[in-house]
Chain A
């Protein structure tokens, strides 16, 4: 599924990302505030949803090769996180929806 559709479903605000971010293909979604869990995953074409708004979230996403990360629950995104996302080539979004709500919305549009 194209990232643009996901962003729309989440009412997500685009913060930074590659030029052609709209077309990025997302196959799996991982939702967690525990970066240890994120680092254990071995899925591809990943989108990370988290309400842990720290630089470590961006790093962890980058380390496992996530294409995009959505910061849920209206958390503040810091300058450092944006710089890191640009450096790691990860598209960064935020949404006012809580994490669970965001997952439900994605679940609905991803159902076959």
Chain B
């Protein structure tokens, strides 16, 4: 019975993890309706009406300088100011999202701000799309169907007990040191039982344990996903915030923002992330203040020469 209860949680976590693995650029609407500074509120009204949208960014040379929402439009309408320039009514300081951010950051942004849409910009800060909750819902449904299809296919072919194929997502809560480490222990056992060399098992265990401790000690909560096949172990950690101001600094040995309590638990020496990087073959980190942090660590299970020979 308890297994039945656990099952939906695990699959929903896996879907979340998949969605978190997406980039904003893969989910946003690329066809954006924008206006320039010299357009009127009437122009915005027409665009909104014809395209059934609720927010129109104002751009100047592709850069977002403001956004006019349904709310602004109603205010202008009330004041009989529909022929006014958009600059008079738009919201000037716009929260934008970068297109290569993980989707999890966007989800945090929707939680943090009350906006219904976020203009999306590229590295040059040019408007490339717009992200609404509807985009996220679509992505979620798409990933859910894909996941279901995969699960159905998996059911048709029973797994070999010796197989190294494994994927699981663990949820971790803030300051829950008691459970921080369970995932690592489980993964360690799984690899050990399948005869993976102890040195590799140790590297995987260290990376995942450091990430678990990071999630419970520094984030407001998040998840740790494992995707294992015979070639490699992929560990990905996503949290909901608070985000790291300077990831470069966070990767410097000895740099730490840990409080006394975390230190009393034997951690917080500023060696967690550098240590994950040390034991990983591939390492990537992405973070934004207020939105969260994503870390991905890959540990190859086969020497590279062997891979090349295949």
Contact = CB atoms under 8 A, between A and B. Distances in A.
B71 to A, nearest CB: 49
A80 B179 CA distance: 12
B198 interface: yes
Contact of B206 (A54, A57, A63): A63
A65 B191 CA distance: 13
Most chain B CB atoms below 10 A, which of A36, A37, A40, A88 = A36
A73 interface: no
Contacts of B210: 39
Interface string A37-67: 1011010000000001011110110111100
A36 B184 contact: no
A11 interface: no
Contacts of B270: 36
B209 A60 contact: yes
Contacts of A80: 178
B198 A65 contact: yes
Most chain A CB atoms below 10 A, which of B180, B184, B205, B266 = B266
Contacts of A33: 266
Contacts of B240: none
B188 A63 contact: yes
Interface range on chain A: under 10, 10 to 19, 20 to 34, or 35 or more? 20 to 34
A110 B32 CA distance: 72
B275 A39 contact: yes
A64 B203 CA distance: 8
Given A63-B206, A64-B202, A64-B206, A36 B185 contact: no
Contact of A56 (B206, B266, B269, B271): B266
B157 interface: no
Contact of A36 (B198, B269, B278): B269
Contact of B267 (A36, A42, A63, A88): A36
Most chain A CB atoms below 10 A, which of B181, B210, B269, B272 = B181
Most chain A CB atoms below 10 A, which of B180, B198, B269, B272 = B269
Contact of A57 (B178, B205, B266, B275): B266
B181 A63 contact: yes
B205 A56 contact: no
B275 to A, nearest CB: 6
